[in-house]
Amino acid sequence: MIRRLIAVGLALLLAAPPLDPLFDVVMGRHLLGQVPALLLLGAVAGWPPARGPVTARPLAGLAFAIGAIAFWMIPRSLDAAVRSNAADQLLHLSMFTAGLALARVLPRLPVPVSLGLGVHAVAMVGALGLVYRYYPGLICTTYNLTQQRAAGLTMVRAAPLLWLGLWAWAVSRAGRNQGPRHDPSPAAPAFRT
């Protein structure tokens, strides 16, 4: 319970002045600092997944989380979050809630499904980073071209680290799901020559 309260408190701190304007003014801080921090704090608040009706419909939680993350990665949505305080607070709330939903849903999914979602997410970070880095014009009009290129370069550099993290997570989760191996067949007779 204390962990959840701390996560909510830190998320509120990130979403309020004086910290929020510090994130909003630089594209890299906004996309690669505040948004992942809110997702992570939501995941901390949602862990461990509860039993019962909260996770009775895991696909709804997964659809919400993927939809929220995808929506706020649209350049016009990100521009709206910088220009409008209401849209910015909606971004904060939806990212925190998406992290909470992912923490409750991902452990219940089969490893290949979770891994597939992770691979797709990491690939999108790398691809979006390449677009931000090399597109000759402004994509998010509230930021300048230098900020856009710097954010893109950081995303491209972060993608391999995210791949390593995803791989480590998949190996650890697969190891937990394996358990000890037991061969139910009787021992084969020794071969004599």
Per-residue confidence at 189, pLDDT binned at 50, 70, 90?
Answer: low
Domain count along the chain: 1
pLDDT for residue 76: 94
Q: Provide the mean pLDDT of the chain.
A: 87
CB 162 within 8 A of CB 125: yes
**193 lies in a domain?**
no
- Identify whether 102 is part of a domain: yes
**Where does the pLDDT of residue 108 fall: very low under 50, low under 70, confident under 90, or very high at 90 and above?**
confident
* Interatomic CA distance for residues 125 and 165, integer angstroms: 14
The rounded distance, in Å, linking the Cα atoms of 72 and 81 is 8
In sign, the C-alpha dihedral spanning 124, 129, 134, 137 is positive
Query: What is the DSSP code string of 112-161?
Result: HHHHHHHHHHHHHHHHHHHHHHH-SS-SSTTS-HHHHHHHHHHHHHHHHH
Tokens linked to 129: 């980073």
Q: Is residue 191 in some structural domain?
A: no
pLDDT in tens, 6-40: 999 999 999 998 999 999 999 999 999 999 999 99
Give dist(CA 23, CA 30) in Å, integer.
Answer: 5
Query: Quick check: is 188 in a domain?
Result: no
Amino acid at 125: V
The answer to whether residue 39 is domain-embedded is yes
In a domain, 190, yes or no: no
Mean pLDDT (whole number) for 88-99: 96
Which of 10-24, 69-83, 173-187 shows the lowest per-residue confidence on average (mean pLDDT)? 173-187
Question: Domain for residue 36, yes or no?
Answer: yes
Domain with 167 in it:
2-49+57-176
Residue count of the chain, please give it: 193
Evaluate whether residue 89 is within a structural domain: yes
pLDDT band at 173 (very low <50, low <70, confident <90, very high): confident
